[in-house]
Amino acid sequence: MSRNLILGSALSSLVVLAALVSFVWTPYDHAALNIPDKLQPPNAQHWFGTDHFGRDMFSMIMVGARTSIAVALVAVGIGMALGVPLGLTAAARKGSWLDEVIMRGNDLVFAFPSLVIAILITAVFGAGAINAIIAIGIFNIPVFARITRGAALSLWEREFILAARVAGKGAARISAEHILPNVANLLIVQGTIQFSLGILAEAGLSYVGLGAQSPTPSWGRMLADAQTMVSFAPHLALIPGLAIIVTVLGLNLLGDGLRDWLDPRIRVARA
Amino acid sequence: MTLYSVRTCASALALGATLLASQALAKSDITIAMQLEPPHLDPTSAAAQAIDSVVYTNIFEGLTRFMGDGSVVPGLAEGWEISDDGTVYTFTLRDGVTFHDGSTMDAEDVKFSLDRATAEDSANAQKALFAGIESVEVVDPLTVKITLSEPNGNFLFNLAWGDAVIVAPESIDDIKTNPVGTGAYTFGDWVQGDSITLNRNPNYWGEQPALETATFKFISDPTAAFSAMMAEDVDVFDNFPAPENLPQFEADPRFQVLVGSTEGETILSTNNKQAPFDDIRVRQALAHAIDRQAIIDGAMFGYGTPIGTHFAPHNPAYVDLTENSAYDPEKAKAMLAEAGFADGFETTLHLPPPSYARRGGEIIAAQLAEVGIKAEIINVEWAQWLESVFKGKEFGLTIVSHTEPMDIGIYARPEYYFQYDSTDFQALMDTLNSTTDPDERTRLMGEAQRLIADDYVNGYLFQLAKLGVAKAGVQGLWENAPTAAIDLSAISWSE
């Protein structure tokens, strides 16, 4: 196990843990306004201080982790659920019109700047966590489709696939039984990376007011709310900013570590 | 060599002299920032406040005008006579007033302006101001006779509005992009999305103002507003959008902060035709569920005066009715239960961009949640708000500041977006409009305030404060905002 893997999983599990614990316990009600106590710097009662409405920042960060993780997780789920079958199909029907349609469709989605389209989608269909998930999810589809197709293509050339074909298995069955297990490692690594990108995208959309809506806490919106107050209450911006950094850094380290650990090529080289 | 040094000395002296001279002369230009850019520059065909901020008294003038303290004084009319029955106003116009294009301002222009405002197809945003005008007659070039269908104690006040300014038929076609008025400043340049420049009018009929040019700069983002002010890129911010930054300006000797009042009654507008808000008990519950002080402290950082009705507290006729809708969540719950909503209900809360609405909305949503009302927050831009809320009436609740002066009359318009339809109130407004006796008017205005407070038409939150920020050397700024205006002729630099 590499240092990256250990540090990455430690940071990521810290964030996941905060999100899970927030379901049963937070120091304060994250939505309870307490205006007389507003803008307190971090102290013994409020570990991360209070925001401009006197809400406890620590509780908000915990519940905000939930929002970030939920949005990113579902978005990656959408990408995998649609992208992987598309990639497998394209690889199985290599060179056919179906392959062309799928891959050119992917190119089309790739060609658009993702955040701009996400803004367009949420602007047209209304701001909210659900639309943010869909917008981010759509851009995960081609990522997974491409990576799956690429890996699957080289597998289709291998002898064990030929053996399976000789045994009379159809393309769909081979894809599910032999190809998919062999690309799973790659998908897990890519999933971790997309997960961290999803968290950034959610924070970005919330920052411009198109992500999760009040009173659902979101790190991006906390940053946006803090803008005019940074000069006299810097903790309002620093704390959600650090939360985003810790999460994204953790997930990237985890992804790197996982790749080192799981990637067969590197494993072979190591052996 | 000698010659050379003598010459250098001379030029150094000359340079020094120029420097001294320029220091002795006060600055003659100013950059004033505002949050919103006007959609166009015709104050007589749109409700946008930003238009009046730029053009009112600067480019366009009316027969009467507002002063900074809210009083109404003669404008283009030198004086007037009112017939004994209060229905005929004879205005004497100032002699020698010209429009910026050189044409003379006379009685024909007054007739044209008022006829245009009262016309069937008039685009005027405040047609109610002119509703009582029966006819406008030109007696001679400097005399206009206006006949009203019934006495209107507010008539001179109405004529002072930016919607009632005098325009010329010759330049009316291009008024939106090239406004030609009679004011102390002429329209210079408009860089869309950035700024509008006005220049001093050398042919102005009145006293020449101190400033030669003025630039109105549009900065909508509160963070950018703060940086622009701190970097001294702008000299004045007309109404600073981020109240949380004011203590920093106050502590900085480079700046002055002017906290005044506006005519903006900030209210939780309620769709009176939409269930369950058509039930007065639900509206009353709403009113008792709201803690005004928390909203003022949380959203406006303490700037604002609580109101209990739709009336400005600085008006002598104001009645303090805040107790009528005092914060009492238990009572609110009881009222909801009585109306059949013991478990609360769901509604929408549309929030336009200003921080009083966005932040106030978050606080109100939390307060409503306390009594079981789940208000879904929908953030909208102004264009969307005008389209779906103001015109479309598709909303449950919304927060907005009504910044027109003395606008309680909107409650007599059943088609107005909050759709309050009370024949009692409409009759009361008719009586008020035809009453000229000041004491009786005060009494009637009090009655009107009580009526809408007792009907809990809307949630009455607070009177919006005017939060001006300016460099320390700027003088003559309006502290209060009796109407949306930035009166350039009153502004100067101190040395």
B171 and chain A in contact, CB less than 8 A? no
Contact assessment for residue A85 and residue A144, using Cβ atoms and an 8 Å cutoff: no
Q: Looking at beta carbons, which residues of chain A come within 8 Å of B297? A: 35-36, 38
Sheet holding B143-148, edge to edge: B77-82, B88-93, B143-148, B133-140
Q: pLDDT (tens digit, 0 to 9) for every residue of chain B, 495 residues total?
A: 444 444 444 454 444 444 444 444 578 999 999 999 999 999 999 888 899 999 999 999 999 999 988 889 999 999 999 998 889 999 999 999 999 999 999 999 999 999 999 998 889 988 888 988 999 999 999 999 999 998 888 899 999 999 999 999 999 999 999 999 999 999 999 999 999 999 999 999 999 999 999 999 999 999 999 999 999 999 999 999 999 999 999 999 999 999 999 999 999 999 999 989 999 999 999 999 999 999 999 999 999 999 999 999 988 899 999 999 999 999 999 999 999 999 999 999 999 999 899 999 999 999 999 999 999 999 998 888 999 999 999 999 999 999 888 889 999 999 999 999 999 999 999 898 888 788 898 999 999 999 999 999 999 999 999 999 999 999 999 999 888 899 999 999 987
Q: Is-cis flag, bond preceding B276, omega within 30?
A: yes
What is the Cα–Cα distance from A4 to B402, expressed in whole angstroms?
58
B397 Cβ contact partners less than 8 Å away, ≥ 6 residues apart: B268, B269, B270, B271, B277, B286, B347, B348, B349, B350, B364, B375, B459
Alpha carbon of A249: minimum distance to chain B alpha carbons (Å): 28
What is the Cα–Cα distance from B146 to B144, expressed in whole angstroms?
6
B353 and chain A in contact, CB less than 8 A? no
Chain A interface disruption, residue of B377, B381, B399, most A CBs within 10 A: B377
Contact assessment for residue A57 and residue A239, using Cβ atoms and an 8 Å cutoff: yes
> Alpha helix locations (H) across chain A?
3-24, 57-92, 97-111, 114-125, 129-156, 159-166, 171-174, 180-207, 219-226, 235-262, 264-270
What is the Cα–Cα distance from B331 to B289, expressed in whole angstroms?
8
Count of CA atoms in the C-beta half-sphere (13 A) of B207 = 7
Chain B interface disruption, residue of A55, A228, A229, A232, most B CBs within 10 A: A228
What is the Cα–Cα distance from B365 to B379, expressed in whole angstroms?
13
Cα R_g (chain A), whole angstroms: 22
Dihedral (Cα; B120, B123, B125, B129), 10-degree rounding: -40
Q: Looking at beta carbons, which residues of chain A come within 8 Å of B361? A: 214
Geometric angle at alpha carbon A17, from A11 and A19, rounded to 5°: 110
Cα B380 to Cα B39, B114, B385, distances in angstroms: 18, 35, 6
Q: Could you give the domains of chain B?
A: 29-37+178-260+466-493 (3.40.190.10), 65-169 (3.90.76.10), 263-464 (3.10.105.10)
B337 and chain A in contact, CB less than 8 A? no
Q: Tens of pLDDT along B34-52? A: 999 999 999 999 888 899 9
Q: Looking at beta carbons, which residues of chain A come within 8 Å of B359? A: 52-53
B223 and chain A in contact, CB less than 8 A? yes
Q: Tens of pLDDT along A178-220? A: 999 999 989 999 999 999 999 999 999 899 888 888 888 899 9
B227 and chain A in contact, CB less than 8 A? no
Spacing of C-alpha A262 from chain mean position: 20
Q: Looking at beta carbons, which residues of chain A come within 8 Å of B237? A: none
Q: Looking at beta carbons, which residues of chain A come within 8 Å of B363? A: 33, 35, 53
Amino acid making up residue B360: G
Q: What is the mean pLDDT of residues A144-167?
A: 93
Q: Tens of pLDDT along A101-130? A: 999 999 998 888 877 877 888 778 877 888
Residue B21 phi/psi, 5-degree rounding, is -60, -45
Confidence label for A264 from pLDDT (cuts 50, 70 and 90)? low
Nearest residue, CB atoms, B365 vs list A54, A126, A215: A215
Q: Looking at residue B98, what DSSP letter applies?
A: B
Q: How many CB atoms lie within 10 A of CB A150?
A: 14
Spacing of C-alpha A61 from chain mean position: 17
Residue B189 phi/psi, 5-degree rounding, is -150, 150
Q: Which two tokens stand for residue A253?
A: 């380290």
Contact assessment for residue B469 and residue B255, using Cβ atoms and an 8 Å cutoff: yes
ipTM over 0.90: no
What is the Cα–Cα distance from A61 to B456, expressed in whole angstroms?
38
Nearest residue, CB atoms, A228 vs list B244, B298, B369: B244
Q: What is the chain B residue with the closest CA to A51? A: B298
Nearest residue, CB atoms, B362 vs list A126, A214, A229: A214
Please say if the pLDDT value at position A271 is more than 50: no
Alpha carbon of A228: minimum distance to chain B alpha carbons (Å): 5
Q: What is the chain B residue with the closest CA to A35? A: B298
Residue B152 phi/psi, 5-degree rounding, is -135, 105
Tokens 């659900």 correspond to: A130
- B379 to A228: CB separation less than 8 angstroms, yes or no: no
Give the three-state DSSP class for B94: coil
Q: How many CB atoms lie within 10 A of CB B396?
A: 21
What is the Cα–Cα distance from B412 to B45, expressed in whole angstroms?
22
| Helix axes of A57-92 and A3-24: crossing angle, nearest 10 degrees | 120
Total CB pairs under 8 A between chain A and B: 55
Q: Would you state the pLDDT for residue B437?
A: 80
Q: Looking at beta carbons, which residues of chain B come within 8 Å of A210? A: none
Contact assessment for residue A19 and residue A270, using Cβ atoms and an 8 Å cutoff: no
What is the Cα–Cα distance from A237 to A240, expressed in whole angstroms?
6
What is the Cα–Cα distance from A132 to A72, expressed in whole angstroms?
10
> Alpha helix locations (H) across B262-393?
280-289, 292-300, 329-338, 355-370, 382-384
Nearest residue, CB atoms, B248 vs list A214, A215, A232: A232
Q: Tens of pLDDT along B196-209? A: 999 999 999 999 99
Q: What is the chain B residue with the closest CA to A213? A: B377
Residue A49 phi/psi, 5-degree rounding, is 80, -170
Cα B36 to Cα B33, B161, B478, distances in angstroms: 9, 20, 18
Contact assessment for residue B259 and residue B467, using Cβ atoms and an 8 Å cutoff: yes
A209 and chain B in contact, CB less than 8 A? yes
Long-range CB contacts (within 8 A, 24+) of B217-224: B217/B31, B217/B32, B217/B33, B217/B34, B218/B33, B218/B34, B218/B35, B218/B36, B218/B37, B218/B193, B218/B194, B219/B33, B219/B34, B219/B35, B220/B35, B220/B36, B220/B37, B220/B353, B222/A227, B222/A228, B222/B355, B223/A227, B223/A228
